[in-house]
Amino acid sequence: MQLKCKRILLKLSGEALMGNNSFGISATTMNNYVTEIKTIHQLGIQIGIVIGGGNFYRGINAKDTGISNFTGDKMGMLATIMNGLALKDVLETNGIESKIHSAIYIPQIVDIFHKEKAIKHLQKNRICIFVGGTGNPLFTTDSAAALRAIEIKADLLIKATDVDGVYATDPKKDTTSKMFNKISFQECIENNLQIMDRTAFVLCKENNMPIVVMNINKKGNLFKIVSGEKVGTFVI
């Protein structure tokens, strides 16, 4: 099979890991995701993963509790590390060697991010899990995903969601909403399509990093994307 991608950056949201739970990590969901990841890893695809932390804490909601946005975002970064540790264990339980790279310096728990080291791990077919966001408050893990995709020279950034792609309006609220097969970065920015944040779109646009927005909950979608099938919405 002729693969269309050699190296990808997969963006997983923290909220998605909850599955049907209201908090934390769903064992079923985590194992389903690892099964999908393992399928493409066995093909020789080099995989970087940026993971969110919204299943434990969302800094965007910090003001409701009196916590400052800066502190809330730092708490959210720590939540991504918790998810990264969990993902690493499940990957390695499934026989997949992986490394965690953090934007935050916590040497007792995770290694600090270093671009060249990450690329060497990828070349040795180890999955790299990037946690801690960008290491700065006020930036989302979408921005971190865009940044890491550019740094590791990925062929494609895959935004894994629970909807089939990018829609004109929220498909969960508007069942008649149109899904785009292809859309430009500029259209996403101008129409405020919030499948990713504006900073992530701008980073990808300026660095020619294509994005596919797809439904990770549909079995086989990751495999279809790396093998060149049309799945989700292509943003370029």
Q: Which helix (H) or strand (E) holds 159?
A: strand 156-161
- The full 3-state SS of 80-131, as one line of letters, equals HHHHHHHHHHHHHHCCCCEEEEECCCCCCCCEECCHHHHHHHHHCCCEEEEE
The reply to whether 80 falls in a domain is yes
Give the Å distances, CA to CA, from 88 to 26, 66, 91, 126, 163. 15, 33, 5, 11, 25
Q: Are 167 and 177 in contact (CB under 8 A)?
A: yes
The reply to whether 2 falls in a domain is no
| CATH assignment of the domain containing 193 | 3.40.1160.10
- Is the model's pLDDT at 32 over the cut of 80? yes
Distance CA 124, CA 43 (A): 13
The pLDDT value given to residue 175: 86
The reply to whether 179 falls in a domain is yes
The reply to whether 1 falls in a domain is no
Q: How confident is the model at residue 135 (pLDDT cuts 50, 70, 90)?
A: very high
- Considering only 55-69, 76-90, 164-178, 205-219, which range has the smallest mean pLDDT? 55-69
Type of residue numbered 101: H
Q: What's the whole-model pTM score?
A: 0.95
The reply to whether 217 falls in a domain is yes
Stretch 18-43: mean pLDDT, rounded? 95
Distance CA 61, CA 30 (A): 25
Give the structural domain span for 220: 7-235
Q: Are 171 and 157 in contact (CB under 8 A)?
A: no
Number of domains in the chain: 1
- Is the model's pLDDT at 61 over the cut of 80? no
State percent of the chain over pLDDT 70: 97
The pLDDT value given to residue 2: 57
Q: Helix, strand or coil for residue 233?
A: strand
